[in-house]
Amino acid sequence: SEVRERQSVGLDRFLDSSDYIYAGANLPNKIGLGTIKGMDQVIQKDLRSFYQTYYAPRNTTLVLAGDVSHDVMLERVKHFFSDWRNKEFQPAVDPEFNVVLPSKVEAKVFTDPNVETRIEFNFLEKESPEANSKALNLEYWTHLLSTRALINRIDTLAYESGGRILSPSMSSEISLESVRVSQIGVTTADRDWEFGLSTLEQKLRQAVEFGFTEDEIKKQLTALENELQLSVETAGDSSSATLANRVMNAVDSGYFIASPQTDLSIFYELRDQLTVKSINEAFRKRWASQPPRLYLTERSNAPGLEKTLLETYAESQQTKVTPYVEKAATEFAYQNFGK
């Protein structure tokens, strides 16, 4: 049932991209469930041993969320779990992931007739998770503002492209407890990846070389403040499932949970440090310090596609970029309709 449920083009692409992006980590061989190879390697004895040694009270976090009596729920937990023992318990050992960073621009192509055309740039740097702090909040918001500003620029291009560019995205996360992967990508019209690649490369380089304007950052700051204020106003509307998921994410990540009011208070305390200069400097460091690993998802498996990918990227780098100029907002054509 595991194989039937999870075998898909999406899983194949995930395994292929993970093996490429996290080169050296040998991820496909460390993700046993969900692949035929993994199923073939699992025998009953090993599976039983895993459950007997890992599933134990010391490895368990029980999360309960809802409008319930604390005392009543505690009694129910004791009733069902107080006799749980596991003398065979062994601490879980995390595998080692020795990710190798790229020394030059690299390219990989995943082809399948059932996928959309998508191009992604992946920038890697060694980084370990840090304890949650105000400094970490400041760093997060600093990068969030620049990311949103660039996505806004690309969104405008996507709107004007007539469907040639779709679904722009950016993310930056620490993975495998050791490496930060910063990714930017777009989906394009079928086999129009070269246009998507040149657009990404030049818009990213434009932001690196010339930065973001005062107006752009001001807009993103206002939007962020409004989001945090809305979170405070709607704090009581969260469902039990949402609260439980927040707790589980905190357990998995090692970060503590702060109330929306605390987040807003920290934002006001740190806002003056979110300057255009600091935001642009941080953006350049994260998105221009390492050569990227290019990853293309394409339907056709044309010969030499990875070589073409590298050549197209190199050609785009030769194109001169100029400072960003925001287009003036046009008047809505029907604003006087009905008058």
Superfamily, domain 106-317: Metalloenzyme, LuxS/M16 peptidase-like (3.30.830.10)
- Tell me the C-alpha distance between 39 and 32, whole Å: 7
- Tell me the C-alpha distance between 146 and 153, whole Å: 11
Cβ neighbors of 289 (< 8 A, separation 6 or more) are 123, 125
pTM, two decimals, is 0.87
Q: What is the pLDDT of residues 152-165, one digit of tens each?
A: 999 999 999 999 99
pLDDT band at 211 (very low <50, low <70, confident <90, very high): very high
Q: What is the mean pLDDT of residues 89-116?
A: 90
Q: What is the pLDDT of residues 44-59, one digit of tens each?
A: 888 888 888 888 888 7
Number of other CB atoms surrounding residue 197 within 10 Å: 22
Structural tokens at position 283: 């953006």
Q: What is the mean pLDDT of residues 327-339?
A: 61
Q: What is the pLDDT of residues 265-322, one digit of tens each?
A: 999 999 999 999 999 999 999 999 999 999 999 998 888 999 999 999 999 999 999 9
Q: Which residues face 119 on adjacent strands?
A: 186, 296
Give the residue extent of every domain in the chain: 2-81, 106-317
- Tell me the C-alpha distance between 278 and 139, whole Å: 10
Q: Name the DSSP letter for residue 158.
A: H
Structural tokens at position 263: 């987040």
pLDDT band at 32 (very low <50, low <70, confident <90, very high): low
| Amino acid of residue 123 | F
- Tell me the C-alpha distance between 29 and 20, whole Å: 13
Q: Name the DSSP letter for residue 235.
A: G
For residues 204 and 121, is the Cβ–Cβ distance under 8 A? yes
pLDDT at res. 45: 87
CA atoms lying within 13 Å on the CB side of residue 319: 16
Q: What is the mean pLDDT of residues 227-249?
A: 90
* pLDDT above 70 for 218: yes
**Mean pLDDT score of the chain:** 90
Q: Name the DSSP letter for residue 191.
A: T
For residues 117 and 192, is the Cβ–Cβ distance under 8 A? yes
pLDDT band at 236 (very low <50, low <70, confident <90, very high): confident
pLDDT at res. 1: 62
pLDDT at res. 332: 52
Q: What is the mean pLDDT of residues 246-264?
A: 85
DSSP-based three-state secondary structure for 141: helix
